[in-house]
Amino acid sequence: MVIKHKLVKVLEQAVIQAQQEGVLAVTTLPEVIVERPQNPEHGDYASSLPLKLARTTDIAPLSIAEKVLEFLPPLPEVAKIVVVAPGFINFKLSFVWLTKQVAAILDAGDSYGNIDLGDGRPVQIEFVSVNPTGPLHVGHGRGAVLGSTLANVLGAANYAVEKEYYINDAGSQLDAFSRSLYVRYQQCLGVDAEMPGDGYLGNYMVDLAKEIIEKEGKRFLTIPGDAALRELGAIGVAEVMGMIRQVLELLGVEFDVWFSEQSLYKNGQYEKAMKLLRDGGYVAEKENATWFISSALGEDKDNVLIRSDGSPTYFASDVAYHFNKFLERQFDTVINIWGADHQGHVSRMIAVVNALGINPERLKVIICQLVTLRRGQEIVRVSKRSGDIITLREVIDEVGSDACRFVFLSRSADAQMDFDMELAKKQSADNPVYYVQYAHARIASILRLAKERGIDYARGDVSLLTTEPELTLIRRMILLPEMLELVASTLEPHHLPYYAQDLATVFHSFYKQCRVVSKNQELTWARLKLVKAAQIVLARTLRLMGMAAPESM
């Protein structure tokens, strides 16, 4: 059990016992929260429960705290419990218990930090899902890293996680892509053709047309236009999806399922979902179109499902897709990670999930805000290579996958962020990516030195770890399970890079103050055990973020 939860439990039991024995006249027990104080002098954990209880009684918070204290049992994890004005109960962890956690970390190894929050429940995370009409840019990279990191954390929290990429291979955008590619194909072969008004104008379309010409030659000039459009479009989508997969692999992002939008129509999910909405009274015909009556579920306006020409909207596909996710594949929770341009789509999706008879709380939508690329103070707007959009591939090639992942994770998804590519490449403490990975490399070098000298520290006595730098390091290490719980509960993985930096800082401080390999054999053994445990925790944190834990730098 995470120590914080144990403290919550004993506080609840203490208040209940005080009530039963007539010491506290409290009618309701508020939510008991135990937090880590910002000031270490206030202890390792603290609760403001007496202040909450005082709101419903005539008793002063300090008196309540003293009464609760009387009913708290002795805890092996806690050395001291102190009541502090205006009504806090502070807990100081036992040195003996802290040092025992080193052995617990060593025993757990790479599974250290795992928690059973999910109880094996199936969760789907759908992310990236970029239309297969062009290359990925840095905004897509942010969503990709967020999704893959969340999947890692939820897996460690015992959820059955499935990562999915939704391929938008149907609809008007794909039509525009196919027409644009056909025009570029013709132009590259000397045919006078004009780009459509809704065409894709990026230079990558010319490159794509040239690649197809190299493989297929001029044959699409000799077949009917409609057939050429369909076949060229299919080839173009396959080529773009291949590029997308390749770039995502470079970023360390993998998917369990690549789901085709077209399959929703081929396999009947679209018709089933529409029927369910009609049967529920949520569909109406008006203005020569078919509408979802979302106003009946609190939305400001209704939304078109089927256009007047009979073609389904992007929204209709999403209705069928979520019908498939929840009612056919039976995911307990669905997490969608969308770009900032999808903000307005959230409320109507919540409404339609409700209309399908699904508890809307089972749908979680995370909106990733925009990323601004910089080189120091200069905003980077155009690719040096192509004079066009800056692709995610270019950024990965320049700064590396690990730097990309750390930077993308370093801000809350709902906050816009600056990505300084010059800083991301620096090999100095100014660069948080380098700083954290260097801490792991330093640990690895210490352990290599011990191995070279033939030091067997298996007999190390961790009770010898009594100095403040040693204990402070242990205190940070044991926070990993809490960190996983926080990220899994809030779906906010930006807490991980902050924890990694904090852990690295504390380790670097320990290293400067405590000589690990010394003439004192027993202390050397004990500190090597501590260092090995620190390596386990830091490596686990890095790998949860999808980053490497380097042995040297």
Question: Could you read off the pLDDT of 79-118 as tens digits, one per residue?
Answer: 999 999 999 999 999 999 999 999 999 999 999 999 999 9
Q: What are phi and psi of 331, to 5 degrees?
A: -70, 135
Q: How many CB atoms lie within 10 A of CB 283?
A: 19
**Quick one: average pLDDT of 121-142?**
95
In angstroms, rounded to a whole number, what is the distance separating the alpha carbons of residues 398 and 546?
18
The verdict on residue 410 lying in a domain is: no
> Where are the alpha helices (H) located in 341-431, listed in sequence order?
346-355, 392-399, 401-409, 421-425
Q: Residue 345: inside a domain, yes or no?
A: no
The tokens for 142 are 């942010």
**Does residue 537 contact residue 484 with C-beta atoms inside 8 Å?**
no
Task: Please state, for a pLDDT cut of 70, what percent of the chain lies above it.
Answer: 99
Clarify whether residues 76 and 183 are in a common domain: no
Q: Of the candidates 183, 207, 240, which is a domain's last residue?
A: 240
- Are residue 441 and residue 539 in the same domain, yes or no? yes
Q: Which two tokens stand for residue 313?
A: 């909207």
Q: How far is CA 242 from CA 222, 245, 248, 258, in A?
A: 27, 5, 10, 12
User: Strands, DSSP E only, in 40-100?
Assistant: 45-47, 78-84, 88-93
Parallel, antiparallel or unpaired: strands 45-47 and 378-379: unpaired
Tokens 């919540």 sit at which residue? 350
Q: Domain limits at 24? A: 3-93
387 has a pLDDT exceeding 80? no
In a domain, 515, yes or no: yes
193 and 89 belong to one structural domain: no
342 located within any domain:
no
Burial of 111 (0-12, 13-18, 19+ CB in 10 A): exposed
- Look at residue 429 in the predicted model and tell me its pLDDT: 87
Q: How many domains is the chain built from?
A: 3
What's the pLDDT tens digit per position in 423-438?
999 988 889 999 999 9
**Residue 383 banded pLDDT, cuts 50, 70, 90:** low
pLDDT tens profile 226-247 = 899 999 999 999 999 999 999 9
373 located within any domain: no
Please report where in the chains the tokens 């007496």 appear, as a residue.
50
pLDDT at residue number 172:
82
Q: Does 378 score more than 70 pLDDT?
A: yes
Same domain, 448 and 536: yes
pLDDT (0 to 100) of residue 385: 57
The vertex-406 CA angle with 400 and 411, nearest 5°, equals 135
Res. 225: pLDDT tops 90: no
Paired tokens of 21: 């024995």
The whole-angstrom separation of Cα 227 and Cα 230 is 5
**Residue where one domain finishes, among candidates 216, 240, 264:** 240
- Please tell me the distance from the alpha carbon of residue 40 to that of residue 55, in angstroms, as a whole number: 28
Among residues 240, 259, 284, which one ends one of the domains? 240
Mean pLDDT across 355-377: 95
The sign of the CA dihedral 82, 84, 88, 90 is negative
Residue 156: inside a domain: no
CATH number at residue 437: 1.10.730.10
3-state DSSP assignment of residue 483: helix
Tell me if 79 is assigned to some domain: yes
Q: What is the pLDDT of residues 3-55, one digit of tens each?
A: 999 999 999 999 999 999 988 887 788 999 999 998 888 899 999 999 999 98
How far is the C-alpha of 212 from the C-alpha of 206, rounded, in Å? 10
User: pLDDT tens digit string along 485-524?
Assistant: 999 999 999 999 999 999 999 999 999 999 999 999 999 9
**pLDDT greater than 90 at residue 59:** no
Q: pLDDT, tens digit, for every residue of 300-333?
A: 899 999 999 999 999 999 999 999 999 999 999 9
78 pLDDT higher than 80: yes
Render pLDDT for 243-272 as a digit per residue (tens, 0 to 9).
Answer: 999 999 999 999 999 999 999 999 999 999
In a domain, 127, yes or no: no
The reported pLDDT for the residue numbered 520 is 96
Integer angstrom CA distances of residue 418 from 233, 369, 421, 500: 35, 11, 9, 20
The CATH number of residue 68's host domain is 3.30.1360.70
Q: What pLDDT does 201 receive?
A: 85
Read off the pLDDT band of 384 (50, 70, 90).
low
pLDDT for the residue numbered 22: 87
Spell 319-334 as b/e; 16+ CB within 10 A means b.
Answer: bbbbbbbbbeeebebb
Crossing angle for the helix pair 225-250 and 203-216, nearest 10 degrees? 110
- 29 near 12, Cβ under 8 Å? yes
Asked if the model's pLDDT at residue 200 lies above 90, the reply is no
